[in-house]
Every structure is written in C-alpha cells, then in structure tokens.
Structure 1
Amino acid sequence: MPHAPQLRIPATYMRGGTSKGVFFRLQDLPAAAQAPGPARDALLMRVIGSPDPYGKHTDGMGGATSSTSKCVIISESTKPGHDVDYLYGQVSIDSAFVDWSGNCGNLSAAVGPFAISAGLIDPARVPRDGIATVRIWQANIGKTIVAHVPMTDGQVQETGDFELDGVTFPAAEIQLEFVDPADEGEGAMFPTGNLVDDLEVPGVGTFKATLINAGIPTIFLDAADLGYTGTELQDAINGDPQALARFETIRAYGAVRMGLIGNVEQAATRQHTPKVAFVAPPADHVASSGKRIAAGDVDLLVRALSMGKLHHAMMGTAAVAIGTAASIPGTLVHAAAGGGQREAVRFGHPSGTLRVGAQAEQVDGRWTVTKAVMSRSARVLMEGAVRVPAETLPGA
C-alpha cells in the first residue's frame, strides 16, 4: 500500500517567557488549515504530537506539559491600528482537542519578535537600533497587546542580561502592555458582581473565592482554606491525584459560577480557562531552582494550575489577573498582599518571583483596569519547517 510523503510547513519554534511553542504565519499553512475548524485542529495536534496516551509527545514538537503544548498563528492584522493578529491554540496532551478560549501571556512576548523577523511589520516602523513597538490584536479574546522589542543592527535582539525566574538563561528584555485586559461583557471584570464569593463545590466544600476576568478568567482561593501554605512546589500538587481532582472539580464549578460554561460537564472541553490559583501572605521559602526567597522579597505568594497541573512558574495572563486583583481592595489577592494602595506587586511563584503592574480604577461603581505591564523575554530556538504525515490533511 503506497504512503504519501509528509507535508512540509514553514514554522519557527520559539520560547516566550516561561513557555514555548510552534509559530506559523497564517499564509504558510496548508489551505485547509488557514480557516478555523477541524482541519486546522487536526494539523496542530499532529504537529504537537497529540493526543498521546503515553503523555510524552515523543512523536511531535510538544513537551507534554501545559507550558510546551502550544501553537501560534500570526498574520497581518485586519484590525485598524494594529500590526498583526495573534491566534493562540492550547493543545491538549492526552485528548484530541485544541482549546482556543484564551491567550498565552508568556508566548505573547514572542509575537512581536516573530512578526518582525517574518516580515509582517512595515519596515518603516522598525528602527535599525532601539525599540520597535508592535501593536498586537489578540484574536482569541479580542484585546490589544503592545510589545516593545529591542532591535540591534536591524535585527531583533535576543541575547541580553534580563533574568526571568523559570527560564534557565538570561536574554533581552521585552516589555508587554496588556491594554484594557478585563472582560467588557455583562458583569465585566467580576462576573458575579462580587469581589469575593462563597463558591459551593458539592462533595468538596465551600470556599471564599475571587472570580475575576482580567488577562484570563481566574479563580483565586485562599491557600489556608485548602490546607496549603502557598510555598508548594510542583511535586507537592502534581504528585497528589486527589488534590488534582479536587482542583479540577473546583475549577468546573467556578467556571459555571463565572458564566463561562452552562454545566460542570462542559469543563472537560474548556481546559485552558478558567485558571485556578491559591494565594498566601509572604513567607520564607525555597524556589524550585534552590534559590532562597525571603518573605521580604515578595508581597504575596501565588500558585496556579494550568491544564490540570500546577504550573512550574506563572502564566503571563494569570500574572495580569494577579496584578489587577492585587490593586483592588477587597479581593483575596489584595488581602494576601497586605492591603493598601498599590499599582504594582511582586509575587512569589514556584520558580521564583515576578513583578507586574496594573492600573485599576472604579468607574460608576464598577472596577476597570486600563493597563497591565510586565517584562518577559523571547528567543528563537529553531526555524525552518515542521513535517506532518499527509493523511493529517487529506487532499492537502
């Protein structure tokens, strides 16, 4: 029986923040995958190597973690005042599905550099030396991100001395501005209208929770209510199947309470959002790298789960939610940070610390955030083409 050769698709493998993924120009995808739908999802799953019952991604570009099972599609923007459209797909590891419900804040740092290098930005807008400003339309959630990308001798500068906890080597700093990152729909930033809710989770308990949609829908819980200190590393959570099941049940009921799904069964098809995080006041602890973090080094501690597992550092979009909630009196995050007025917060996560700024204000009785700012880094790891079996896209 004859077998068709593999398809060859131009692609770039990039790290952005504490994540990495496969980046494509929309125009380089096979015609069948240039539009949303089953063909596109099938292609991206095969690129990553999902679904993989072994949970290893041996036959694909994925890394078998939520931070490394990602694909990005970039195109010239159709949105006035923007340079590129950025579409992000979180590929499930063991299920045949791609979640398009949210953004990846970490990979957002790689969008500007990729767009410049891929020729998607007007050369007249890119300085030979200095900072290139790239206005990005985040197509998943309909929001603007402004990336400030360093340029040297006409090329994106990737090397530098900016250190990001959770990333092994230093690189060039890229500042990101998440413009008006809160939900603008009914209920806006706080979908229930409350800064703190009593979240009832049948069979598990009732928890105080801050349900917020800024950066990404997030359920914040008090670490102590869960029996944690906020200093936990990955093995403490990911090695405990009962804990993971409890968090997933909380996430499902929280998603219903936030109006993201109609019933808890639908949570299985919306794995990327909402996120679940727990917060605690500062405490001396040791990060996963062995680095000692003193209580005085941070304003609070945060641990967050992504795709059913404790994240090794912090999702960029969740950092936006943390910074926003920390700036609003009355939230669990603000309380864990010690209260007071603040426009920036430094929090501890499993790999170290991260600083994020947010400008929140109350307008007509409703909280809104105009901008959240953080620094990340990005680097090309490999460029060229990915290969997938032709039967992935019949007729391609």
Structure 2
Amino acid sequence: MPHTPQIKIPATYMRGGTSKGVFFRLDDLPEAARVPGPARDALLLRVIGSPDPYAKQIDGMGGATSSTSKTVIVEKSEKEGHDIDYLFGQVSIDKPFVDWSGNCGNLSSAVGSFAIASGLVDPERIPHDGMATVRIWQANIGKTIIAHVPVAAGCVQETGDFELDGVTFPAAEVQLEFLDPAAEEEGAGGSMFPTGNLVDELVVPGVGTLKATMINAGIPTIFVNAEALGYDGTELQDAINGDLRALAMFETIRAHGALRMGLISSIEEAAKRQHTPKVAFVARPASYVASSGKQVAASEVDLLVRALSMGKLHHAMMGTAAVAIGTAAAIPGTLVNLAAGGTARSAVRFGHPSGTLRVGAEAVEQNGEWSVSRAIMSRSARVLMEGWVRVPGDCF
C-alpha cells in the first residue's frame, strides 16, 4: 500500500529567552498553511509532535513542556513604521489544538534576530556594527515590540556575556520594548483592568473568595496572594507540578478569572483557551534556593512571583507575564505592588523558580484610568539549528 512521502519545509529552531520554538517565514509554509485555519494548525501540530498521549512529543520538535512547544511565523510587514509581522502559536502537548490567543514574550527576543538573518529586514536598517532596531508588529494581540539586536560585521551577534536566570549559558543581550502593552482583549473593552478594579474579590468554587488583581498587560494575567493558597512564594516546579490537586485548583482559579475578565463567556470555554489568561501568585521577599542551586537572598528582590503556563508551574517566568508583573508593580494598590512594598516604582526585580528578573514599566493615571506607555526587559536569543523540518505530506 503506497504512503504519502514526507515533505520538507525551511525552518529554524531557536531559543528566545527561556523558551524554544520552531520559526518559519510565512512564504516558506505550504500554500494551504499560509492562512489561518485547520491546515495551518494541523501542520504545526505535526511539526511539534502533538497531540501526544504520552506527553513526550517524541515524534516532533517539541520538548514536552509549555516552554518548548511553540511555533512562530514571520513575514515582512505592510504596516507603516514596522519591519515585520510576528505570529505566535502555542501548541498543546496532549490535545489537538494550537492556541493563538496571546504572545510569547520570551520568543519575542528571537524574532528580530530571525528576521534579520532571513532577509526580512531592509538591509539599510542594519548597521555593519552596532545595534539594529527591529520594529515588530505582534499580530496575536495587535501591539508593537521594538527589539534592539546587536550586530557585528553585518550579522546578528549571538554570543556574549549577558546571563539570564533559567538559561544555562551566557549570550548577547537583546533589549525589548513592549509599547502600549495593555492587551486589547475581546470582551475586555481594551481596558488594562477589565473589571475596573485594581483588586477584586474573586469567588472560586471549591477554593473560596480570593483577592485578585486581574490585568491585561503583556498578556492577561490573574495575580493572587501566595499566602491565601497556603504557599510562601518560594516554591519550585516539583512542589506544584507534582500535586494534581494544586494544578486543578489553579485551573479553576484561571477559568473563573477568565470569565470575570470577560475573556470567555462560559467556564467550559477555558479548556479551549489554555495559553491565556495566566495565573500567578505573589509574596513578599524571602530567601530561597533556585532550581539551579543558586541562592537568592531576600535583599536581592522586591517580591516573589510564581506563574503557571499551560497548566504547569513555569520553570522561570514567561516574558509576557513579566510585562504584566512590571506593569502591575508600577501601579499602587495592586497585589503585585503591595507585595513589592506598596511604593511607586518604575522598575521591579522579582524572584522566580530559576532566579531573578528585572523589568521596567512606565505607568500613568489619567481620569481614573491607568495606562502604560512601555515595558522594558532584556533577554537573549540564538539559533540552535537551521535547515528544514520534515512532516508527512498528508498531515495537513
């Protein structure tokens, strides 16, 4: 019986921040996958190796975690003042769907480098030596990201001495500016605080009534106090991911928060929207030992944050959630700001399972409404492999 042979698609496997993903130029995708829809989703699922009932993604490029089950599509931008359009797809590990509802802040740090190396940025905008400014349109959420990519001898400089907790080896620093990062989510009215409150009383069946800060900035995020859940904020992955009851509790909080934020119209919809919103818990500074064995002193951080992504505690911190943290920390009265001491601030350093991260945000209040003009943080990125990815020709 004849079988359809495999096809090969030009692709690049990259690390961006504390995530990894498969990057494509839009024009390199098979024609049926160049537009949103079932064919594109089916192709990316097969590339990554999902859905996998064994949750290992052995037959694909995924790494069996939310941080390594990611895809990116990039094309030249037709938007004025932008170089490229960037679309992010979070691929479910064990279910047959790709979530397009949000951005990946970590992989955002690799998009500019990929675009330059792929010839998608006007050569006149790339210095022979210095810093290339790549203007990125983030198509998932309709926002602008500015990536400052180091260039040496006309090529992206990937090596360097910038260290990022959660990444083993140093690399070149890439600074990202997330402009006007308050997410304009459908049903949320484009408001940074969709409920109109800095802190809400969130009723969660089976859990209780929790104080919660629900914010749309970088990515929709629900912040709760660690103490209210019986945690101290120093937890590492095993403490949460090995506890099925805890994971179920966080998913219930996430679902009811999503409903309260207007992101879904029924609790049942949350299962089909795993990438957003995120749920995180915060605590005042405390000393702990990070997952690498590094000692983090309470004096080194302004607060502690632990966040879940795709149903599991993240090994470090999602870049978009870091934007939400920086934004919320800059606004007096939010749970994040209160955990950081309750004072006005334009930057915050927080502790996460792998170490620490600093993020800045410029927030202002006008007529009772808060807005943030930009959030800034540094990541690093590099190419891991480039060439072609192969999939069965009939998989999409």
| CA offsets 1:258-285 (integer angstroms, 9 cap, x no match) | 0000011000000000000000000011
Query: Are positions 1:211 and 2:224 aligned together?
Result: no
Match in the other structure for 1:310: 313
| Amino acid aligned to 1:327 | A
| CA offsets 1:63-116 (integer angstroms, 9 cap, x no match) | 010000000000000211100000000000000000000000000000000000
Shift of 1:203: 1.9
Query: Are positions 1:281 and 2:284 aligned together?
Result: yes
Name the CA distance, whole Å, in 1 between partners of 2:64 and 2:143.
28
Shift of 1:183: 2.9
Match in the other structure for 1:2: 2
Match in the other structure for 2:230: 227
| Paired residues, number | 393
Name the CA distance, whole Å, in 2 between partners of 1:186 and 1:91.
27
Match in the other structure for 2:78: 78
Match in the other structure for 2:331: 328
Match in the other structure for 1:32: 32
| Amino acid aligned to 2:115 | A
Name the CA distance, whole Å, in 2 between partners of 1:246 and 1:305.
12
Residues 280 and 336 of structure 1 are in contact (CA less than 8 Å); yes or no, is this contact kept in structure 2? yes
| Amino acid aligned to 1:131 | M
| Amino acid aligned to 1:307 | M
5 Å-filtered alignment, 1:17-166, equals 17-166=17-166
Residues 187 and 193 of structure 1 are in contact (CA less than 8 Å); yes or no, is this contact kept in structure 2? no
User: Unaligned regions of 5+ residues in structure 2, if any?
Assistant: none
Residues 103 and 141 of structure 2 are in contact (CA less than 8 Å); yes or no, is this contact kept in structure 1? yes
| Amino acid aligned to 2:139 | A
Name the CA distance, whole Å, in 2 between partners of 1:5 and 1:140.
33
Name the CA distance, whole Å, in 1 between partners of 2:151 and 2:235.
39
- Per the normalisation by structure 2, the TM-score is 0.99
5 Å-filtered alignment, 1:332-371, equals 332-371=335-374
User: Unaligned regions of 5+ residues in structure 1, if any?
Assistant: none
Deviates more, 1:255-264 or 1:175-184: 175-184
**Helix, strand or coil at the partner of 2:68:** coil
5 Å-filtered alignment, 1:169-188, equals 169-184=169-184, 186=189, 188=191
Match in the other structure for 1:382: 385
**Helix, strand or coil at the partner of 2:262:** coil
Aligned-CA RMSD value: 0.7
Name the CA distance, whole Å, in 1 between partners of 2:272 and 2:27.
28
**Deviation above 4 Å: which 4+ runs of structure 1?**
none
Shift of 1:339: 1.3
**Helix, strand or coil at the partner of 2:44:** helix
**Helix, strand or coil at the partner of 1:107:** helix
Shift of 1:187: 5.9
| Amino acid aligned to 1:101 | S
- Per the normalisation by structure 1, the TM-score is 0.99
**Helix, strand or coil at the partner of 2:105:** coil
**Helix, strand or coil at the partner of 1:255:** helix
Identical pairs, percent: 78
**Helix, strand or coil at the partner of 1:380:** strand
| CA offsets 1:317-355 (integer angstroms, 9 cap, x no match) | 000000000000010000000011110000000000000
Name the CA distance, whole Å, in 2 between partners of 1:187 and 1:91.
26
Match in the other structure for 1:14: 14
Query: Are positions 1:392 and 2:395 aligned together?
Result: yes
Deviates more, 1:370-379 or 1:181-190: 181-190
**Helix, strand or coil at the partner of 1:360:** strand
| Amino acid aligned to 1:370 | S
Match in the other structure for 2:204: 201
| Amino acid aligned to 2:6 | Q
**Helix, strand or coil at the partner of 1:253:** helix
Name the CA distance, whole Å, in 2 between partners of 1:101 and 1:78.
22
Residues 187 and 208 of structure 1, relative CA distance in 2, 3 Å threshold: farther
| CA offsets 1:139-198 (integer angstroms, 9 cap, x no match) | 000000000000001110000000000000000000000000003562610000000000
Residues 51 and 95 of structure 2 are in contact (CA less than 8 Å); yes or no, is this contact kept in structure 1? yes
Residues 15 and 380 of structure 1 are in contact (CA less than 8 Å); yes or no, is this contact kept in structure 2? yes
**Helix, strand or coil at the partner of 2:394:** helix
